[in-house]
Structure 1
Amino acid sequence: MKEVTIDYALRATWQAVARMYNERAKTFDSTMAVGFTLLSIDPKTGTPSTALGPKMGMEATSLSRILKSMEDKGLILRKPNPKDGRGVLIHLTDFGLEKRRDSKNVVLKFNEVVRANVSDDKLDSFFEVMETINKLIAEKTIYTKN
């Protein structure tokens, strides 16, 4: 290919970011998926387990495995949802809150370094392009029946 396709650039960049996060997570005896999950759980009120998958863009089976692993490591507790007797709230333990801070610091450092190396105008354009791509996908306008 003479030109790199948009999807290739997105995929290759995301894979590089994921590798970087997983390498960093290893130093905390963790994974990127666990860090992302920690950041997706409300640290004060907990998060309904049914809301986590959609929030993270993850399938229920993959999320179940991660949550089980996190529970085994003492990062989370499952508690009945007082607003929905059938539901479960995922709460962070004190250890989970500590690891959440670690995850947050890793993400903030990545953002800090990127922002220091990319102009505000370019970042604004990047976010605008990402928003447009997401909108096109959500509106199902890419592959319409002709």
Structure 2
Amino acid sequence: MTPTPPPAPAPSEPADSELLKLDHQVCFSLQAASRAFGGVYREALRDLGLTYPQYLAMMVLWEHGSLPVKTIGERLHLDSGTLSPLLKRLESAGLVRRERSPQDERSVTVHLTDAGSELRGRALSVPRTILRATGLSVQEILALQETLGRLTASLGKAG
């Protein structure tokens, strides 16, 4: 019976002089991954005629139905200055309809049109296309999402 080797030592924290190296920056790794995702999504969404931010807005509407602009912004972590032009483009494309509340002029609700609802069927292949492109298993993706969720929450508290 061969004895079990001792566990590998935990990686030591880099020296201060090492911390300024690009390869040690988590933010840079996330930015590079985000850019790579952007390229894959651009290709996957081309036939749908959507940009990645528009796709995210449509996913929120496909999941929840009609929603106030404010709620969509909260779900996507977007301010109204970014979200309003995006929704205008979706409306111009005939995918959504925006409607002011008669009770509160400041509140606008976004509704899917028939074309917007039908687009969901064509979008069903996108998540699996992206999953395949990552080269990761479903379990690895779920673990990564959980880690990124904790990271986002921590950074939100720190900021």
Same fold (TM over 0.5): yes
| 2:23 alignment counterpart | 3
Q: How does 1:53-64 map to 2 (within 5 A)?
A: 53-64=73-84
Question: In the aligned structure 2, how far is the partner of 1:8 from the partner of 1:53?
Answer: 26
1:118 correspondence with 2:140: no
Contact 1:46/1:91 (CA < 8 Å) preserved in 2? yes
| 1:133 alignment counterpart | 151
Question: In the aligned structure 2, how far is the partner of 1:54 from the partner of 1:44?
Answer: 13
Q: Given the superposition, is the C-alpha separation of residues 104 and 59 from structure 1 closer, same or farther in structure 2, using an over 3 Å criterion?
A: farther
- 1:67-112 Cα shifts (integer Å, max 9, x gaps): 1111111101123447x5432211101100122333343124323x
Asked which structure has the greater RCO (Cα within 8 Å, sep 6+), the reply is: 1
Could you tell me the TM-score, scaled by structure 1's length? 0.77
Deviation at residue 49 of structure 1 after TM alignment = 1.2
| 1:74 alignment counterpart | 94
Q: Given the superposition, is the C-alpha separation of residues 36 and 104 from structure 1 closer, same or farther in structure 2, using an over 3 Å criterion?
A: farther
Question: In the aligned structure 2, how far is the partner of 1:26 from the partner of 1:115?
Answer: 19
- 1:32-81 Cα shifts (integer Å, max 9, x gaps): 12211111115664011121112111121221111111111110112344
| 2:37 alignment counterpart | 17
State which structure, 1 or 2, has the greater radius of gyration over its C-alpha atoms.
Answer: 2
Could you tell me the TM-score, scaled by structure 2's length? 0.71
Total equivalences in the alignment: 138
Which residue identity does 1:110 align to in structure 2? I
Q: Structure 1 vs Structure 2: percent identity of aligned residues? A: 20
User: Gaps spanning 5+ residues in structure 2: where?
Assistant: 1-20
Question: In the aligned structure 2, how far is the partner of 1:21 from the partner of 1:116?
Answer: 15
Q: How does 1:88-107 map to 2 (within 5 A)?
A: 88-107=108-127
Question: In the aligned structure 2, how far is the partner of 1:69 from the partner of 1:128?
Answer: 32
Q: How does 1:18-37 map to 2 (within 5 A)?
A: 18-37=38-57
Name the Cα RMSD after superposition.
Answer: 2.7
User: Gaps spanning 5+ residues in structure 1: where?
Assistant: none
Per residue, is there more strand in 1 or in 2? 1
